[in-house]
Amino acid sequence: MAEVALRGGAIPVSQQGERGRVLQRLHFRDAAFRHLTRAAALAVLIILGGIILSLVHGSWLALSTFGLGFVVSDAWNPVTEKFGALAPIYGTIVTSVIAMLIAVPVGLLIALFLTELCPPWLRRPIGIAIELLAGIPSIIYGIWGLFLFAPFLQETLQPFLINTLGNVPGIGGLFAGPPYGIGILTAGLILAVMVLPFVTSISRDVFEAVPPVLKEAAYGVGCTTWEVVRYVVLPYARVGVIGGVMLGLGRALGETMAVTFVIGNAHHIAGSILAPGTTISATIANEFTEAVGDLYTSSLIALGLLLFVITFIVLAAARYMLMRLNRRIGG
Amino acid sequence: MPAEPARAPRYAARRRRNAIAMVLAVAATAFGLGWLVLILGALLWEGLRGLTFQVFTEMTPPPGGAGGLLNPIIGSLILTGLGVLFGTPLGVLAGTYMAEYGRYDELTTVVRFINDILLSAPSIVVGLFIYEVMVYPMGHEDMLLLLPDQLREAASSIGMPRAVMITRIAYRAARAGMITGVLLAVARISGETAPLLFTALNNQFWSLDLNAPVASLPVVIFQFALSPYKEWQQLAWTGALIITLAVLLLSIVARTLASTRKDPQ
């Protein structure tokens, strides 16, 4: 097409008309392509917006029946048609918090290892191996968690926790009760493994983006590797690290299948993290196909909407935090 | 190091702290790799036992009977194929708009923001097709945004219309990245279970009818794993092994493609 423009001046008068037509056709095609891509972007927007609207529409019955009580009640009784979302909300948040408490420090340490300690020829294989954890479908984590990991925890970690931390006054209640194997802690641990690659790979990328001059200067004045990472790399990379953490948190909040297998699906809020519980997405996965009655279905959809709201709040908070951090760095 | 008496303890403390941190870092890496080994090991151990030729040639069995996974495997292929078929053009075009034409306009900002929320939101509330729509545009937009603007300016400066510049220059330059994106999306959606629980339902028998319920590997794994029958649980493990190997293979291919793209630079 470029030759049309390049040939420009040398075209005899007899061809001027043709040239105009070619240019016009090109112009038309350009406009058509532009509108086509715009239509596609609009279609995506309409579909995405449609999901949210249909969620609001579907949950209307439940929300108007229970009002604010839906969010603060932990009742979940399909027989008497009393539904409250507190237990799933609690489970969702607690499992995600457990996951992040484990995944963030471990992920950062792995990123430290990969960028500062690891011999260069090992970096890529180890990095890929960790990222493969993110590629394993979530249902695999579920089946593995249910058949192998939960029984293992039931015999080892959970009795240990009950016998040691369970007797500590104050936090003992968190580790009380019989070791079921499945439960909130197990779900949190599996989520931690699923979230780990997100935190690790993003942290590694931002660690690598730290200008070598900064690190060399710190090493030059005699800092240890740990001090370089703690006082130079981390402060420089914190915006990116927060982004990775938020991505992981988003995944943890919405994760469905792995959690459904191991959470136990119990609609009550237990004080102990060893007890079975439920999360928003696990409740939907378990009960949607067997929900009878409009109110039941509507309540499940309302749960989905709540998960959107929670995710939205988390994302918005992350954006706000990043904005403030950027401003402070920029100012 | 000339050890001044007063400084020595402090220096030792710093070295000790450093050593602890380094040991922790190595331990964390071993911990992370350990999970991968444990999970893959368990999959191979449990799955290989049931991996026979039969698995690929027979339908899913009734409880207690013998059978294979032919219909869910085909079902998964069909569903993934359909997803790619619908998702790719829409995703490429929407991504093109967001990266090339409307990089700074409101439509792009809104789509990007809603996309962000939905991506981390539960795939369960959202159908598989919708999931496709979400996974795609972002990837293609990112790939196009990676291209240096000089490339576009050079094309425009010799009088190329924008549409030509995009299809002839930008798409070609971003091709490896876009293929990688598609492969990763395929890997991701073929393992998605949750949306299928409601949208595709399940079908124990052979079906090529697109309007009828269709079996798919993840849903069959879900149902068989939670069943009390030994044969079903074994099939669930085998199915899990098949799908994991397929997905991991795809993502390794995608990564290799991505890295060959980076090297020449």
**H or E stretch covering A257:** helix A257-262
Residue B201's alpha-carbon distances to B5, B127, B134, B235, in angstroms, are: 75, 12, 22, 19
Residue A24's alpha-carbon distances to A16, A20, A35, A195, in angstroms, are: 12, 6, 16, 53
The answer to whether residues B220 and B148 touch, using CB atoms and an 8 Å cutoff, is: no
Does the distance separating the beta carbons of B161 and A30 come in below 8 Å? Answer: yes
The answer to whether residues A313 and A253 touch, using CB atoms and an 8 Å cutoff, is: no
The answer to whether residues A207 and A118 touch, using CB atoms and an 8 Å cutoff, is: no
Low-confidence ranges of chain A (pLDDT < 70): 1-16, 170, 326-331
CA distance A123 to chain B (A): 11
CA-CA-CA-CA torsion sign (A179, A181, A184, A189): positive
Indicate whether B67 pLDDT > 60: yes
Contact list in B for residue A117 (CB cut-off 8 A) is: 22, 25-26
**H or E stretch covering A35:** helix A13-66
Residues of chain A numbered 34-93 and touching chain B (CB < 8 Å): 34, 36-45, 47-49, 51-52, 55
Bridge partners of A277, per DSSP, are A264
The pLDDT of B242-247, averaged and rounded, is 86
Residue A108's alpha-carbon distances to A56, A178, B19, B68, in angstroms, are: 38, 33, 16, 43
Any idea how long chain A is?
Answer: 331
Integer-rounded Cα radius of gyration of chain B: 25
Which residue from A36, A107, A281 is facing B122, i.e. has the nearest CB?
A281
Q: Both tokens of residue B70?
A: 């032919």
- 3-class state of residue B222 by DSSP: helix
Place of tokens 């920029």: A330
Cα separation, B170 vs B149, in Å, equals 10
The answer to whether residues B145 and B98 touch, using CB atoms and an 8 Å cutoff, is: no
The answer to whether residues B116 and B74 touch, using CB atoms and an 8 Å cutoff, is: no
Residue A299 backbone phi and psi in degrees, to 5: -65, -40
Comparing CA positions, the residue from A258, A263, A253 lying closest to residue A183 is A263
The pLDDT of B10-14, averaged and rounded, is 87
Judged by a CB distance cut-off of 8 A, whether residue A317 touches chain B is: no
Bridge partners of A264, per DSSP, are A277
Judged by a CB distance cut-off of 8 A, whether residue A227 touches chain B is: yes
Cα separation, A113 vs B23, in Å, equals 10
Give residue A97's pLDDT: 92
Q: Both tokens of residue A239?
A: 């915006």
Indicate whether B233 pLDDT > 60: yes
Give residue A217's pLDDT: 93
Give residue A294's pLDDT: 80
Mutant choice from B20, B26, B29 vs A, greatest count of A C-beta within 10 A: B29
Indicate whether B208 pLDDT > 60: no
Which residue from B28, B116, B243 is facing A110, i.e. has the nearest CB?
B28
Residue A193's alpha-carbon distances to A1, A102, A200, B9, in angstroms, are: 52, 9, 11, 39
Residues of chain A numbered 165-204 and touching chain B (CB < 8 Å): 193, 196, 200
Cα separation, B262 vs B250, in Å, equals 19
Alpha helices in chain B (DSSP H): 8-49, 53-57, 70-96, 106-120, 128-146, 149-157, 162-164, 171-173, 175-190, 194-199, 217-225, 230-262
Residue A169's alpha-carbon distances to A160, A272, B113, in angstroms, are: 16, 14, 45
CA distance A166 to chain B (A): 25
Residue B220 backbone phi and psi in degrees, to 5: -65, -40
Contact list in A for residue B93 (CB cut-off 8 A) is: 36-37, 39-41
Q: Please tell me the pTM assigned to this model.
A: 0.80
Comparing CA positions, the residue from A119, A117, A106 lying closest to residue A244 is A106
Q: Both tokens of residue A225?
A: 């590797």
Residue A264 backbone phi and psi in degrees, to 5: 100, -20
Cα separation, A310 vs A195, in Å, equals 18
- 3-class state of residue A146 by DSSP: helix
Indicate whether B209 pLDDT > 50: yes
Residue of chain B whose Cα is closest to the Cα of A197 = B32
Contact list in A for residue B36 (CB cut-off 8 A) is: 129-130, 132-133
Integer-rounded Cα radius of gyration of chain A: 27
ipTM computed for the complex: 0.76
Which residue from A5, A34, A289 is facing B163, i.e. has the nearest CB?
A34
Residue B153 backbone phi and psi in degrees, to 5: -65, -40
Give residue A183's pLDDT: 84
Q: Both tokens of residue B210?
A: 């697109």
Does the distance separating the beta carbons of B167 and A280 come in below 8 Å? Answer: no
- Give the up-direction half-sphere exposure of residue B54: CA atoms within 13 A in the CB hemisphere: 13
Cα separation, A190 vs B46, in Å, equals 19
Contact list in B for residue A34 (CB cut-off 8 A) is: 97, 101, 162-163
Mutant choice from B15, B23, B35 vs A, greatest count of A C-beta within 10 A: B35
Residue B50 backbone phi and psi in degrees, to 5: -100, 5
Does the distance separating the beta carbons of A200 and B159 come in below 8 Å? Answer: no
Contact list in B for residue A139 (CB cut-off 8 A) is: 191, 193, 218, 221-222, 240
The answer to whether residues A283 and A86 touch, using CB atoms and an 8 Å cutoff, is: no
CA-CA-CA-CA torsion sign (B106, B112, B116, B122): positive
The answer to whether residues A139 and B222 touch, using CB atoms and an 8 Å cutoff, is: yes
Does the distance separating the beta carbons of B21 and A1 come in below 8 Å? Answer: no
Contact list in B for residue A230 (CB cut-off 8 A) is: 21
Q: Both tokens of residue B166?
A: 């995009």
The answer to whether residues B126 and A285 touch, using CB atoms and an 8 Å cutoff, is: no
CA-CA-CA-CA torsion sign (A33, A38, A39, A41): positive
Judged by a CB distance cut-off of 8 A, whether residue A224 touches chain B is: yes
The answer to whether residues A100 and A249 touch, using CB atoms and an 8 Å cutoff, is: yes
The pLDDT of B156-183, averaged and rounded, is 78
Place of tokens 């899990």: B240
The answer to whether residues B139 and B181 touch, using CB atoms and an 8 Å cutoff, is: yes
Cα separation, B58 vs B68, in Å, equals 4
Judged by a CB distance cut-off of 8 A, whether residue A113 touches chain B is: yes
Judged by a CB distance cut-off of 8 A, whether residue A7 touches chain B is: no
Residue B126: pLDDT band (50, 70, 90) is: low
Q: Both tokens of residue A328?
A: 């402070």
Q: To the nearest whole number, what is the mean pLDDT of chain B?
A: 75
Does the distance separating the beta carbons of B225 and A261 come in below 8 Å? Answer: yes
Question: Using one digit for the tens of pLDDT, what is the confidence trace for A130-187?
Answer: 888 877 888 888 888 888 888 888 888 888 887 777 777 767 777 777 777 788 888 9
Give residue B265's pLDDT: 34
Q: How many other C-beta atoms lie within 10 A of the C-beta of residue A121?
A: 7
Contact list in A for residue B158 (CB cut-off 8 A) is: 2, 5-6
